[in-house]
Amino acid sequence: MLARAFRRILLIELLIYLAAGYGLVRLARWEWTVAALALCAFALALRALAITITFIIAARHAGSVPPEHRLGLAGRLKLYLSEFGAYLLIYNLYQPFEGLLMGAEKSQPLPPGRLPVLLLHGYVCNRGFLLPLRRYLRAHGVSAYSHNLEPVYTSIDNYADGLARRIEEILTATGAEKLVILAHSMGGLVARAYLRKHGARHVAKLITLGTPHQGTVLAPLAAGENGRQIVPGNAWLRRLNEDTLTLPVVAVLSYQDNIVLPQESAVLAGAKIVRLSGMGHVSMPFSRRVREVVLEEILAANG
């Protein structure tokens, strides 16, 4: 379970900082408050460095940005702080403690004429990643569910059967004939692998957020077979992109995406493309504009 692994990493980090703090106080004679503040600052700096590196790489591989999507200095600062804040929440709270924060996936009332929605997370993540979107959708009357893609490192095709079972569970619980899939990052490729194997009879629409439909230049750094399947131009991705879409697909991209590079890699032939700006890859679930687009597309799928 990925949440347990995240908690272990946080615990190990905490123990290291406690040991360092003990050394600073007892050996270096620091005040404990100064030591605590210094170690907290160090922990934040490490996370800020990770985010900074992704934006540096993104700047080298970014495609052309239309004038209306370019950001000024204030916009770039807001972009960075939003991505940093989202990173802190998702990787230090939402994902490590997704079971506590999200609870069991109980059946929810399905408003008349509405379709349920299944949220899919991306690479080396869990359902906690999309907690902000699930909360938003439920607050707006959408019956929203989530699903963990496990094991973490496997072929994307291997997620298809588990996703099929989850879809059947949701449809049985709600009495609906179809649902909408809302997928972030690699989750969009998982949804497409499911559609290739099981067809679209249970899916009314697919909405992808920052999905590397054409791969990403960062993928060679990723572990596992699923990581290799996101390398641009690999055989698996080429075969997937040869498939003809058999249902409405909406592909949302951000011109400031710092993970899917170049950003136009989130474009899928035959899909409706929604081009946005001002949000990074991790902060997409927190973006007001992304939420508005997603809700509009979900309501449109209800017919």
Give the pLDDT mean for 138-142: 94
Mean pLDDT (the chain, rounded): 95
Give the pLDDT mean for 133-141: 95
User: Which domains does the chain show, CATH number per domain?
Assistant: 98-104+114-301 (3.40.50.1820)
What percent of the chain is predicted at pLDDT more than 90? Answer: 93
Is the pLDDT score of 303 beyond 70?
Answer: no
β-strands 144-147, 249-254 pairing: unpaired
Give the pLDDT mean for 108-125: 91
* Of residues 217, 208, 206, the one with CA closest to residue 260: 217
- Residues with Cβ within 8 Å of residue 183, at least 6 apart in sequence: 119, 120, 122, 190, 191, 206, 207, 208, 209, 211
> Which stretches within the chain are classed as H helix?
2-26, 32-61, 73-89, 98-102, 131-139, 160-174, 186-198, 224-228, 235-242, 288-301
> Distance between CA 239 and CA 231 in Å, rounded?
13
Structure tokens at 68: 């209306």
Is the pLDDT score of 168 beyond 70?
Answer: yes
Cis peptide before 151 (omega within 30 of 0): yes
Are 133 and 285 in contact by the 8 Å Cβ rule? The answer is yes
Is the pLDDT score of 126 beyond 70?
Answer: yes
Task: Count the neighbouring beta carbons within 10 Å of the beta carbon of residue 101.
Answer: 15
> Distance between CA 253 and CA 28 in Å, rounded?
50
Give the pLDDT mean for 256-269: 96
Is the pLDDT score of 113 beyond 90?
Answer: no
Mean pLDDT check: name the lowest of 96-110, 225-239, 268-282: 96-110
Mean pLDDT check: name the lowest of 98-112, 124-138, 192-206: 98-112
At 206 the pLDDT is 98
302 pLDDT band, cuts 50/70/90, is confident
Is the pLDDT score of 93 beyond 90?
Answer: yes
Q: Give the tens place of pLDDT for each residue, 9-37.
A: 999 999 999 999 999 999 899 999 999 99
Q: Give CA torsion, residues 209, 56, 264, 212, to 10 deg.
A: -50
Task: Count the neighbouring beta carbons within 10 Å of the beta carbon of residue 223.
Answer: 11
Is the pLDDT score of 255 beyond 80?
Answer: yes
> Distance between CA 206 and CA 270 in Å, rounded?
12
Mean pLDDT check: name the lowest of 101-110, 144-153, 278-287, 292-301: 101-110
Are 167 and 118 in contact by the 8 Å Cβ rule? The answer is yes
Q: Give the tens place of pLDDT for each residue, 176-229.
A: 999 999 999 999 999 999 999 999 999 999 999 999 999 999 999 999 999 999
